[in-house]
Amino acid sequence: MLRLIKRRSKKAGLPPGTLVHIGEKKTEKVEITEINYNEEQYQEKEVTRIEECFPFKDKSTVTWININGIHQGGVIEEIGKHLGLHPLLLEDIMNTDQRPKMEDVGSYIFIVLKMLYHNEEENELEIEQVSLILGTNFIISFQEKKGDVFETIRVRIRTRKGRVRTQGADYLAYALMDAIVDNYFVILEKIGGKIEDIEEKLVSDPTPETLQTIHNLKRDMMFLRRSVWPLREIISGLERTGSPLFEKSTGIYLRDVYDHTIQVIDTVETFRDMVTGMLDIYLSSISNKMNEVMKVLTIIATIFIPLTFIAGIYGMNFKYMPELEWHWGYFAALFIMVIVGAIMLVYFRRKKWL
């Protein structure tokens, strides 16, 4: 399950700017890929040392350097030194507990986002942190492990599909963010499906497992919210920042992804409402079931307790009990019992318990 909070304490006391990885290590080897493209040409290579990528600055093509694995301070420090980035920013890249944020540092724009996966095997959410550094004609992206959400963009670049090859690095930044937000819809569909599944069982057959599922959904929603809400500020911030790194024509794309973010937030809030409502329904259903159990008990008990009492009376061993001597006494007793039972049944029917 997703941890509520990551072990950050190992960092307490260290001077700010110290590069310590916070979070689970999700990959062993750090992998660096460099993609170079413009409208005409396209080149993709795997590099082993980050320094190999540095010449990109002088090229006019758009360069996208993707780094899988953020647990090694060395690579990140190298990049930081080369680009003149503040140590605090580098620290944020390595801290997977970082809140999504955007910082415009003049020559670069620094963005931290959360990518969400649905782990099919464990049937639970997974979160991965993605950091982007957007420069004049390059993007550096940091991922926790080899992911696949960006793969579609790589395909589009390779196959010249869409606009990406004709646009600059800002469009690529948009495309990456768009891919992440689009993926939220996939997650939401999954959760929506789960909610609809539970909803049906809720009234008909509520079990303690339903309660557990509702609780887990609530938890997932909490993580979604924490990932999505800051996104809103980030993207509207990008729009308003007026940074020369973002061309004006990219504005409409940002607005579009902003729109999607609002849609995601709306849906998350609706789901939250649904899930909260489901808990109420669950509790009511439990109450209803208990009520029914009580009714059955009460009906059986209140019918038979008086009858048993009558039987008890004539089971007494007093010497002088005139009824016992009567020839029809036994049948009279049975008859009285039937009458009493019938009266009870009528009473219950009038009370609408039957």
Asked if 85 and 133 count as a contact pair (C-beta separation under 8 A), the reply is yes
Indicate the DSSP class of residue 301: H
* Residues found in the chain: 354
Q: Is the backbone of residue 242 left (phi > 0), alpha (psi -120 to 50) or beta?
A: left
Distant-in-sequence, close-in-space partners of 86: CB < 8 Å, separation ≥ 6: 17, 80, 105
Tell me the C-alpha distance between 338 and 326, whole Å: 19
Stretch that binds a second copy, among 1-9, 47-55, 121-129, 237-245 (CB under 8 A): 1-9
Tell me the C-alpha distance between 91 and 21, whole Å: 8
Compute the least distance from the CB of residue 1 to a second copy, in Å: 8
236 to 255, contacts with a second copy by CB under 8 A?
252-253, 255
Tell me the C-alpha distance between 232 and 239, whole Å: 11
Q: Which amino acid is at 137?
A: N
Stretch that binds a second copy, among 34-42, 50-58, 66-74, 178-186 (CB under 8 A): 178-186
Binding to a second copy by CB under 8 A, coded x per residue (else -) over 102-131, reads -x----------------------------
Tell me how far CA of residue 231 lies from CA of 107, 111, 264, in angstroms: 22, 10, 10
Q: Which of 20, 321, 339, 346 lies at the binding interface for a second copy (CB under 8 A)?
A: 321
Q: Does 290 bind a second copy (CB under 8 A)?
A: yes
Q: Does 158 bind a second copy (CB under 8 A)?
A: no
Tell me the C-alpha distance between 97 and 12, whole Å: 14
Q: Does 59 bind a second copy (CB under 8 A)?
A: no
Binding to a second copy by CB under 8 A, coded x per residue (else -) over 198-217, reads -----x-x--x--xx--x--
Q: Which of 70, 90, 139, 175 lies at the binding interface for a second copy (CB under 8 A)?
A: 175
60 to 79, contacts with a second copy by CB under 8 A?
none
Q: Does 9 bind a second copy (CB under 8 A)?
A: yes
Nearer to a second copy, 45 or 330 (CB): 330
Nearer to a second copy, 24 or 259 (CB): 259
